[in-house]
Amino acid sequence: IYDTDGNPRLVINKAYRKLSPMGRITPKGKDAITTLPLALIKPYLSFEQAINSDTIKEKPYILGANENTKTQTIDHILYVKGNLKRHQAYAIYHKGAPYTDPNTGEELASRASYVGMARAFRTGDAANGEPASVRVESVKREIKQGDFLLPAMEGQMLPVYFEMHRPEQPMQGQVIASPREMKEFSTMDVVVLNLGSEQQVKVGHVLDIERQSPKVIDSARGPRYTEDSSRLEKLVSATSELFGSETDEDSVTWKMPAEKVGEMIIFKVYDKVSYALITKNQHPIRIGDLAVIH
C-alpha cells in the first residue's frame, strides 16, 4: 500500500490472523489406558517369582556353608546339592507360602523371594555325593539351608516396553494375595491374581476391579444382609441356592451385582497366577475382589 506521495506503507491486514504454537487438552475417554511406571514394578520383576512347587523340588538347593552361622554374608561359601556351571551366576530364592485358589483350594504356585546372588566355582557331582560350591556375591535377605538356586537372569528380564490393552475375550479371576502380605491395597500397590497364561492372560492386559455387593435375604421380617439374618433364614437361603429354587415363598435371597472399584495392569504372568499393579481405585482394594473383563 502506498500513501498520497507514492511512498510505501506497512499496514496490518485484518483478514489474516497470527497463529502461535499452543497446547491442546483432550479429555480421556473412560477406556483410556494408563501408562505403566516401570520403576514401581521393577522390584517385583527382579525379586519376586511364582513357581510351581514340583518345579522347585527339581532345582539345586543349599545344603550348608563353610561356617556354621545362621546368616550367610558376602564371600561366604555355600555348598549346593545339584550340578552347576562353573563361573555361572545364580540367584538364590526362598520358598514362601503357596498361592491357593479361594474357590477350589488348588495350590496354584509357591511364592519365591529373592535373597541373594552367588557364583559357582565347583560344578559338583550329585550322583556321587559331591556338592557344588558357590561364593556369595550379594545378600538381600537371610540365606537359609534349603533355599534353591536359579540361573541369575531366569525370570528377571525387564521388558523394553509394555503394550497395554484390554483382553479380547471375557475373563474373571480374583485378588488372592499380595507380595507385601497386606489385606487392603490402593493405587500403585501390587497384587496377585488367580489368573495366568492358562486363562489367556498376557502381560499388558488391563482389567477392571469389581467388588461383589452383599446378598440380602428378604423375608417376613423385612430385608436384611445375610450376616444379620437368623440361622433359619440362612439355612433357607443356602438350601435355595443348592437346589436352585425357593423353598420358602416368604423368604427370597437377592444376589446383588458387582460394582467397579478400580483398574489394574498385568505385568508378570505365570501358568496359573499373575502379578498386577493397581492403577485406579475408588475404594480400598481387598483380597477377594474380582479382576474381570466382561
SS (H, E, C) 38-58: HHHHHHHHHHEEEECHHHHHC
Same domain, 138 and 232: no
Q: Taking 70 as the threshold, does the pLDDT of residue 133 lie above it?
A: yes
Same domain, 152 and 220: no
Same domain, 151 and 225: no
Q: Taking 60 as the threshold, does the pLDDT of residue 246 lie above it?
A: no
pLDDT of residue 225: 82
* Owning domain of residue 77: 34-157
Q: Which of 24-28, 180-184, 200-204, 233-237 has the lowest mean pLDDT?
A: 24-28
pLDDT of residue 264: 95
Phi, psi (5° rounding) for residue 136? -70, 130
pTM exceeds 0.85, yes or no: no
Same domain, 135 and 247: no
pLDDT of residue 36: 66
Give how many domains the chain has, as a whole number.
Answer: 2
Same domain, 220 and 146: no
Assess if residue 271 is contained within a domain. Answer: no
Amino acid identity, position 43: P
Q: Taking 80 as the threshold, does the pLDDT of residue 239 lie above it?
A: no
Same domain, 220 and 147: no
Alpha helices in the chain (DSSP H): 38-47, 53-57, 231-243
CA distance 291 to 275: 12
pLDDT of residue 250: 67
Assess if residue 124 is contained within a domain. Answer: yes
Same domain, 65 and 151: yes
Per-chain mean pLDDT for the chain: 84
Assess if residue 79 is contained within a domain. Answer: yes
Assess if residue 2 is contained within a domain. Answer: no
Same domain, 148 and 232: no
pLDDT class of 215 with cuts at 50, 70, 90 = confident
Same domain, 44 and 137: yes
Using CA atoms, how far residue 217 sits from 181, 230, 250, 255, 262, in Å, is 34, 10, 10, 9, 28
| Final residue in a domain of this structure, among 141, 157, 173 | 157
Q: Taking 60 as the threshold, does the pLDDT of residue 63 lie above it?
A: yes
Assess if residue 99 is contained within a domain. Answer: yes
